[in-house]
C-alpha cells in the first residue's frame, strides 16, 4: 500500500475518532440531574410541607376544642348540679362557661377554614406529585438510553484506536509528523484528487503533480500543501 493511501486511511479513522469523541462529550453533558426534575421535586417538597403545617394546625385546634368541651361539661355539671347556691359564684361560673363556649366557637370556625385549606393543599400535592413522577420516569429512561449510547460510543472509540495503532506503526515517523502538523493547521492533512482537482482547496492540479500522485509517490498540493491521494 502506498503512503498516500495509508495516510488517507489514517485520516478516515481520525475523522471518525473526532466525531465519536464529540458525540461522547455531548452525551456526558446530558447525563445527570435535569432542571425540571430538580425544580419540580423542590416544589413538591414545599407543597407537602405546607400541607403538613396545615394538618398540624388542624389537630392542635381540634385538641383545644376537646379540652374546652371537657371544661365546659365540668362547669355546667357544677352549674346545674344544685350544689352551688351562692348567686355571685353562680354568675361567675356562668360567665366562665360563656367565655369558654365563645372560645370554642371561634376555634370551630378556624378549624373549618383550615380544613378547606387542607383540601386545596392535598389536591395541589397530588397534582405536583404526579407531574414529578412522570418527569422522573421520563428522565430515568432517558438516562438509561444515554448510558447505553455512551457505552456503544466508548466501544467504538476503543475499536478505532485499535485500528489506528497498527496503521500508524507502518508509516515512518517523519511522514506522521507532517500529517499531524497539517492536521493541526488545516483540520485535514490528506486531500483526495478527483477529476484532476485537489478536494482540499479545489484547484486544478498541474499534470506533473498528477503524474507523481499516480505513481504512488507522496506528493503535496502546490496550493494548499496537503498530501494528495489518488483513489
Ligand atoms: Zn490543494
pLDDT digits (tens, 9 = 90+) for 135-177: 999 999 999 999 999 999 999 999 999 999 999 999 999 999 9
Considering the chain, tell me which residue range(s) the CATH 1.10.287.1490 domain(s) occupy: 31-170
| Dihedral angle computed from the Cα positions of residues 70, 73, 75 and 77, in that order, rounded to the nearest 10 degrees | -140
State the distance from the centre of ligand 1 to the C-alpha of 185, rounded, in angstroms. 13
Cell of 26: 455531548
What are the pLDDT digits (tens) for 168-226?
999 999 999 999 999 999 999 999 999 999 999 999 999 999 998 888 778 999 999 99
State the distance from the centre of ligand 1 to the C-alpha of 225, rounded, in angstroms. 6
State the distance from the centre of ligand 1 to the C-alpha of 224, rounded, in angstroms. 4
How many residues comprise the chain?
231
Given a contact cutoff of 8 angstroms between Cβ atoms, the answer to whether 104 and 72 are in contact is yes
Query: Terminus-to-terminus CA distance in the chain, angstroms?
Result: 12
What are the pLDDT digits (tens) for 25-41?
999 999 998 999 999 99
Please, which residues have CB less than 5 A from ligand 1, an ion?
Answer: 198, 200-201, 221, 223-224
Mean pLDDT of 52-80: 97
Cell of 83: 350544689
State the distance from the centre of ligand 1 to the C-alpha of 115, rounded, in angstroms. 81
Q: Would you call 206 helix, strand, or coil by DSSP?
A: coil
Cell of 3: 503512503
Mean pLDDT of 82-107: 95
> Which segments of the chain does DSSP mark as H helices, in order?
3-30, 35-80, 87-170, 173-186, 207-214
State the distance from the centre of ligand 1 to the C-alpha of 205, rounded, in angstroms. 8
State the distance from the centre of ligand 1 to the C-alpha of 215, rounded, in angstroms. 18
- Apex 131 CA angle, 120 and 48, nearest 5: 45
- The predicted pLDDT at position 60 comes to 98
The CATH class, in words, for 31-170 is mainly alpha
- The predicted pLDDT at position 150 comes to 97
Q: Return the percentage of the chain with pLDDT > 90, whole number.
A: 90
Mean pLDDT of 8-22: 97
- The predicted pLDDT at position 2 comes to 85
- The predicted pLDDT at position 1 comes to 65
State the distance from the centre of ligand 1 to the C-alpha of 201, rounded, in angstroms. 4
Burial (CB count within 10 angstroms: exposed 0-12, middle 13-18, buried 19+), residue 193:
buried
State the distance from the centre of ligand 1 to the C-alpha of 179, rounded, in angstroms. 14
Cα 231 from Cα 228, distance rounded (Å): 10
Q: Return the percentage of the chain with pLDDT > 70, whole number.
A: 100
Amino acid at each position: 500500500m502506498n503512503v498516500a493511501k495509508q495516510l488517507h486511511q489514517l485520516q478516515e479513522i481520525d475523522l471518525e475518532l473526532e466525531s465519536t469523541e464529540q458525540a461522547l462529550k455531548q452525551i456526558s453533558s446530558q447525563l445527570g440531574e435535569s432542571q425540571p426534575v430538580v425544580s419540580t421535586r423542590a416544589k413538591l417538597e414545599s407543597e407537602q410541607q405546607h400541607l403538613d403545617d396545615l394538618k398540624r394546625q388542624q389537630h392542635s385546634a381540634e385538641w383545644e376544642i376537646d379540652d374546652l368541651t371537657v371544661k365546659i361539661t365540668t362547669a355546667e355539671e357544677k352549674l346545674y348540679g344544685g350544689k352551688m347556691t351562692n348567686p355571685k359564684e353562680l354568675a361567675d361560673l356562668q360567665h366562665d362557661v360563656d367565655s369558654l363556649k365563645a372560645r370554642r366557637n371561634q376555634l370551630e370556625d378556624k378549624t373549618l377554614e383550615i380544613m378547606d385549606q387542607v383540601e386545596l393543599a392535598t389536591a395541589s400535592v397530588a397534582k405536583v406529585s404526579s407531574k414529578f413522577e412522570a418527569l422522573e420516569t421520563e428522565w430515568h429512561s432517558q438516562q438509561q438510553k444515554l448510558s447505553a449510547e455512551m457505552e456503544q460510543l466508548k466501544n467504538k472509540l476503543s475499536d478505532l484506536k485499535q485500528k489506528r495503532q497498527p496503521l500508524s506503526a507502518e508509516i515512518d515517523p517523519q511522514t506522521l509528523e507532517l500529517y499531524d502538523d497539517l492536521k493541526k493547521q488545516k483540520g485535514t492533512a490528506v486531500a483526495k484528487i478527483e477529476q484532476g482537482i485537489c478536494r482540499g482547496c479545489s484547484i486544478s492540479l498541474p499534470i506533473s503533480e498528477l503524474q507523481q500522485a499516480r505513481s504512488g509517490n507522496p506528493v503535496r498540493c502546490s496550493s494548499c500543501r496537503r498530501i494528495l491521494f489518488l483513489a
